[in-house]
């Protein structure tokens, strides 16, 4: 069933009323005045068809993250008491650049397996630890060796920056 809208008039031109298939829409606003300024014309269609689109597919990440999540409860055991060097990425769930760094850290975790442990810490939910290490923005990657902070990489950087920092920590 077609629902017709209220009559349409504009100071620029007049046209017949629109016919819509959606009865919830009662009127259509007039076109902006600036259309004529740019030499554009607005020709309303007599009918607007609204088709029902299928819902967009849900995409799931099929890869297994190589870096494990660390919390305040496991911080001492996993980071400070580790016998091998540790890389910790401080991130936030709302941070777009952090997602890019996740991928790089996962690659590094796979390449340096057994030589470096990689972890991720949610800076918003573990704010006390973030404050202890003076984390003001994310993403930040800290490198620890023998329980001490040795190096840091701030921001989204190419993989080579992280690898260089890891190599320095491994050789020191």
Phi, psi dihedral angles at 56 (to 5 degrees): -70, 145
Are 110 and 163 in contact by the 8 Å Cβ rule? The answer is no
Right CATH number for 68-171 from 1.20.1290.10, 3.40.30.10, 1.10.287.1080, 3.40.50.720? 3.40.30.10
CA dist 29 → 33, 80, 109 (Å): 12, 63, 56
Give dist(CA 54, CA 139) in Å, integer: 36
Q: Report the DSSP pairing between strands 148-154 and 117-122.
A: unpaired
Each domain of the chain, given as residue ranges in start order, spans 68-171
- Burial code (b: 16+ CB inside 10 Å, e: under 16) for 89-114 equals bbbbeebeebeebbebbbebbeebee
Catalytic residue among 5, 61, 98, 118: 98
* 13 pLDDT higher than 60: no
Q: Report the DSSP pairing between strands 47-48 and 3-4.
A: unpaired
Active site residue 98: yes
CA dist 111 → 4, 26, 88, 92, 159 (Å): 64, 60, 16, 24, 12
User: Nearest to residue 23, comparing CAs of 58, 45, 48?
Assistant: 48
The answer, as to whether pTM is greater than 0.75, is no
Q: What is the mean pLDDT of the chain?
A: 78
Both tokens assigned to 53? 């689109």
CA 49 to chain centre: 34
40-65 residue pLDDT tens: 665 655 555 555 655 555 444 445 67
61-83 residue pLDDT tens: 445 677 899 999 999 999 999 99
Query: For residue 96, is it left (φ>0), alpha (ψ between -120 and 50) or beta?
Result: alpha
100-126 residue pLDDT tens: 999 999 999 999 999 999 999 999 999
pLDDT bracket for residue 3 (50, 70, 90) = very low
User: Nearest to residue 22, comparing CAs of 55, 56, 52?
Assistant: 52
Specify the pLDDT at position 54: 57
Specify the pLDDT at position 66: 78
Catalytic residue among 5, 61, 95, 118: 95
CA dihedral of residues 66, 70, 76, 82 (deg, nearest 10): 0
Specify the pLDDT at position 20: 45
């Amino acid at each position: 069933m077609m629902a017709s809208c209220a009559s349409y008039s504009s100071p620029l031109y007049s046209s017949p009323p629109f016919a819509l298939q959606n009865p919830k829409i009662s009127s259509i606003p007039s076109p902006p005045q600036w259309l004529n300024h740019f030499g554009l014309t607005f020709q309303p269609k007599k009918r607007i068809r609204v088709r029902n689109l299928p819902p967009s597919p849900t995409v799931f990440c099929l890869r297994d993250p190589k870096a494990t999540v660390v919390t305040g409860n496991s911080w001492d055991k996993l980071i400070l008491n580790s016998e091998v060097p540790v890389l910790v990425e401080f991130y936030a769930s709302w941070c777009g650049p952090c997602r890019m760094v996740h991928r790089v850290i996962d690659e590094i975790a796979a390449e340096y397996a057994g030589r470096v442990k990689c972890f991720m810490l949610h800076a918003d939910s573990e704010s006390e630890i973030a404050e202890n290490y003076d984390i003001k923005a994310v993403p930040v990657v800290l490198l620890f060796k023998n329980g001490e902070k040795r190096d840091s990489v701030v921001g989204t950087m190419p993989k080579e920056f992280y690898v260089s920092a890891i190599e320095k920590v491994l050789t020191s």
